[in-house]
Structure 1
Amino acid sequence: PVLNLVHRDYWQCFEQLPRKDTCGLCTVAWAVEQTKTCRKLISAQGRGRYLLRLALSRKTLPQFVTHVLHTPRVLEWYSETFSILRNEEFLPFMSLLLVLSQMEFKLDMEQNCSFLDESWLLPVCEIYEVVPCRQVGMVLYLNGRVFLLDMVSGGQAHVDQFISRGDVIDEINGICLRNSRNGQAGVVLSRLKGCFLSIRVVRWRARDGTVYRPLVKLLRALRIENPWLQLGPAPCQQPAANDQRTPPPTQCLVEGIAYIVQFLGDKNIGVFGTKKVLPHAISHVLQQNQPSKEVLLDLQETHVTCTESSSNLMVCQHHYPDISCVGRYPQPDYTILGFCVTNFNCVVLKAASSKECDDIICRITGFRHTEWFV
């Protein structure tokens, strides 16, 4: 077709349903209209993700697909070669949709949708309620999103210790700050001075230490422009004498799921890559005493990648079926782990803590073909 319109995004198809299909479409039309009016979304991809999640939560996804199938003008945009809607695989797919329509999906789609343009993953989103005060004391920074850069000492935000540097201010009293103009957040706060505030906060880091992946590039840019910035909660002015020193924040980073670790080296293990070989391979790498380098270990859905933090050069990449075994090295702090891959190599890494080491191992062993040991 002209201009290759056959490969339109699926949102464009769903958007046309109320106009192209003349049968009763109250549920579908209402969901499409709600998606179109959502101010937190910009791209067709984000709106499509929002609509699918909305349909899942309301158990109406099969209706969407059914209406697409009996709307010829919409089906013209779909390729018969690649579309699941026009081949033999559709029947089991439709059966799956019917099963999904019987399940409960608790998705806060009304509010937690600001990052659907960037990712399917939803962040941790919380409400910060501020009592009427003279000064909230938030230093904000605009970079497509409104970031909390710092907190003024003595301000209400500093006293409450609810939000942390690096968190995103998504809404203030229902006013969306997505793609806000420079200074708009400050204007909103000034207008509401002395009022009760309800601030919707998108956490840059979850409680388990994982960093929300779509924020990684923005946080890196934030650190480059503000080298003094230390992400995390502001230090208390007067810590109690009997308080124990809190452990440093985990170095788990990104998406649900990447970690900043030390790459200690790798070793050829020959044709036998079972878990019996792993401890000896790790010992051999440690004995070589190679200079370590900081890498970003990214545990994606289908594969594992290691990239240098300083240069973004890829150190290694392995798909989960290629990893035959993974485990930690028995030493006092239990922070060293290794995994064997089918190219006869053993990759050795050092995590920031024993818990982080366990998390990495458990995530890799989540793939069923990988053996592991303690």
Structure 2
Amino acid sequence: MAPRDPLLSSLRVCVLNLQSGGDTVTDSDAHLTSCCELLELVLRKGLQQPVLSLGNRDYWQCFEQLPHQDTCDRLSALSLAVEQTRVCRKLLSAQGRGRYLLRLALSRRILPQFITHLLHTPRVLEWFSPASILRNEELVEPFMSLLLVLSHMDFKLDLENCSFLDESWLLPVCETYEVVPCREVGMVLRYLSGRTFVLDLLPGSQAHVDRFICPGDIIDEINGTSLKNSKCGQAGVVLSRLKGSPLIIRILRWRAHDGTVYRPLIKLLRALRVENPNLQLGPAPSPQSASEHQRPSPSHCLKEGRIVYIVQFLGKTNIGMFGGKEVLQQAIPQVLEKNLPGQEVLLDMKETHLTCTDKNSKQVLIEHHYPEISCVGRFGQPDYTVFAFCVADSPETPQSTGFCCVAMRASNIKECDEIVCRIAAGFKHTEWFV
């Protein structure tokens, strides 16, 4: 009977679980982390430490040596993968580089080639003791068979989300946000253990209005510049150099996918909370246990991390050749006098423009960039939940037909004020390049 190894048995089950989820594997797959952990354990089993060395040896050093053993063309893919791993500034340890290389090899379907080349490189293979799976002919064959199965699967992994591979296989929620050119993003930053944390948001700033980031989140990159292991003030230097340019910010969320605190951050978040006591570190509240101001409201929903308001579209009317704020109190009654049935729509205020979409049909009814909007305001009386904005009828043509007033009704006064302020903030954030 052929010998069995518990690591290979567990890996086989994990590979089958990955296959059951379909041909494409993403970071959200519940079995991906287990598969990577098992691959790591197999590669570390029997790996001997050097006698005369101050540092420990890991499987990354094995892979790092492989491209230098031969210069055949068939090794070019391996060389590129090793070099890409070596130059990644987000990785500081051999463990992090090895994990990144495993994810890269799975994505590029070259992990079997790495192991095959290792098996044919005696100088590297001798680093492993006879107890290693790689040195056991009866065990290495089923191991290679499992790697071939993995190489036929499509791994769509976010390789840029690698800043925590030094510490953990468990990766945080990573999102990218594009910020339009603005005078001030409005984030108070703190540097802890080489991480750039958001301590707080300045009221009225773009970060506060758009709500794309929360206190406790980490800024991982700004326009491709990694902030991993950055010194105090480095993020400010990067932002100053990019002043007046659009920003692409990669954010690591402190909440995991299941709504709980991302475990590798718990200790650092507790230290951050000393400076910002308002930082809530508990799990995301459920609708039953949340307080009134935290409870999800049927008057709005979330889309790509943004709050989208559910409002009533009341109609629009032409107001002539003047679109200043003075005309709103006369223009809104003109719309209301038409007595049109309110149409339930989704009002989405993005970074550069707003859209109004029919809630049922998903048809886009209105789309305007903020510079096209001449004014915005709330109806004074008797209905304080009605708001409106003025926009040129045909802003794309040289001969405009004038302005029109678009009126809507929010669910309550508070949300009406929020919407008006967010549209007004759009003017502030874009006015310099209009």
Asked whether the two chains share a fold, i.e. TM above 0.5, the reply is: yes
Pick closer, same or farther for the CA change 1:67–1:26 going to 2, 3 Å: same
Residue 212 of structure 1: how far off its partner (Å): 1.6
CA distance in 2, matches of 1:5, 1:185: 34
Post-superposition CA distance 1:99-137 (Å, at most 9, x none): 00001111011x111111011122111012111111110
CA distance in 2, matches of 1:96, 1:61: 11
Please say if residues 125 and 202 of structure 1, whose CA atoms lie closer than 8 Å, have aligned partners that are also in contact. yes
Q: Does 1:170 align with 2:220?
A: yes
Match of 1:92 in 2: 142
Match of 1:11 in 2: 60
CA distance in 2, matches of 1:7, 1:231: 39
CA distance in 1, matches of 2:70, 2:101: 18
Of residues 279, 295, 305 in structure 2, which corresponds to 1:230? Answer: 279
2:156 aligned counterpart, secondary structure:
coil
Residues 291-302 of structure 1 correspond to what in structure 2 (within 5 A)?
none
Match of 1:292 in 2: none
The alignment-based identity, stated in percent, is 71
1:121 aligned counterpart, secondary structure:
coil
Residues 175-190 of structure 1 correspond to what in structure 2 (within 5 A)?
175-190=225-240
Which moved further from structure 2: 34-43 or 3-12? 3-12
Match of 2:244 in 1: 194
Residue 230 of structure 1: how far off its partner (Å): 1.3
Post-superposition CA distance 1:224-250 (Å, at most 9, x none): 4x2524148xxxxxxxxxx963249xx
CA distance in 2, matches of 1:89, 1:5: 32
Match of 2:100 in 1: 50
Match of 2:293 in 1: 245
Please say if residues 255 and 262 of structure 2, whose CA atoms lie closer than 8 Å, have aligned partners that are also in contact. yes
Residue 91 of structure 1: how far off its partner (Å): 1.1
Residue 38 of structure 1: how far off its partner (Å): 0.5
Please say if residues 222 and 238 of structure 2, whose CA atoms lie closer than 8 Å, have aligned partners that are also in contact. yes
Post-superposition CA distance 1:189-216 (Å, at most 9, x none): 1222222111100001035312222212
Post-superposition CA distance 1:124-175 (Å, at most 9, x none): 1101211111111000000110000000111110010111110000011111
Q: Rg bigger for which structure?
A: 2
Structure 1: state its 5+ residue gaps. 233-242, 249-374
Post-superposition CA distance 1:73-94 (Å, at most 9, x none): 111211222x110112111111
Please say if residues 219 and 249 of structure 2, whose CA atoms lie closer than 8 Å, have aligned partners that are also in contact. yes
Pick closer, same or farther for the CA change 1:43–1:99 going to 2, 3 Å: same
Match of 1:328 in 2: none
Q: Which amino acid aligns with 2:108?
A: R
Q: TM-score, normalised by structure 2?
A: 0.52
Residue 27 of structure 1: how far off its partner (Å): 0.8
Post-superposition CA distance 1:303-341 (Å, at most 9, x none): xxxxxxxxxxxxxxxxxxxxxxxxxxxxxxxxxxxxxxx
1:100 aligned counterpart, secondary structure:
helix
Please say if residues 199 and 276 of structure 2, whose CA atoms lie closer than 8 Å, have aligned partners that are also in contact. no
Q: TM-score, normalised by structure 1?
A: 0.60
Please say if residues 21 and 71 of structure 1, whose CA atoms lie closer than 8 Å, have aligned partners that are also in contact. no
Match of 2:307 in 1: none
Post-superposition CA distance 1:252-306 (Å, at most 9, x none): xxxxxxxxxxxxxxxxxxxxxxxxxxxxxxxxxxxxxxxxxxxxxxxxxxxxxxx
Match of 1:128 in 2: 177
Q: Which amino acid aligns with 2:61?
A: Q
CA distance in 2, matches of 1:104, 1:92: 21
CA distance in 2, matches of 1:77, 1:89: 18
Pick closer, same or farther for the CA change 1:6–1:158 going to 2, 3 Å: closer
Residue 18 of structure 1: how far off its partner (Å): 1.0
Match of 1:257 in 2: none
Match of 1:149 in 2: 199
Match of 1:218 in 2: 268
1:25 aligned counterpart, secondary structure:
helix
Please say if residues 69 and 75 of structure 1, whose CA atoms lie closer than 8 Å, have aligned partners that are also in contact. yes
2:89 aligned counterpart, secondary structure:
coil
| Bigger helix share | 2
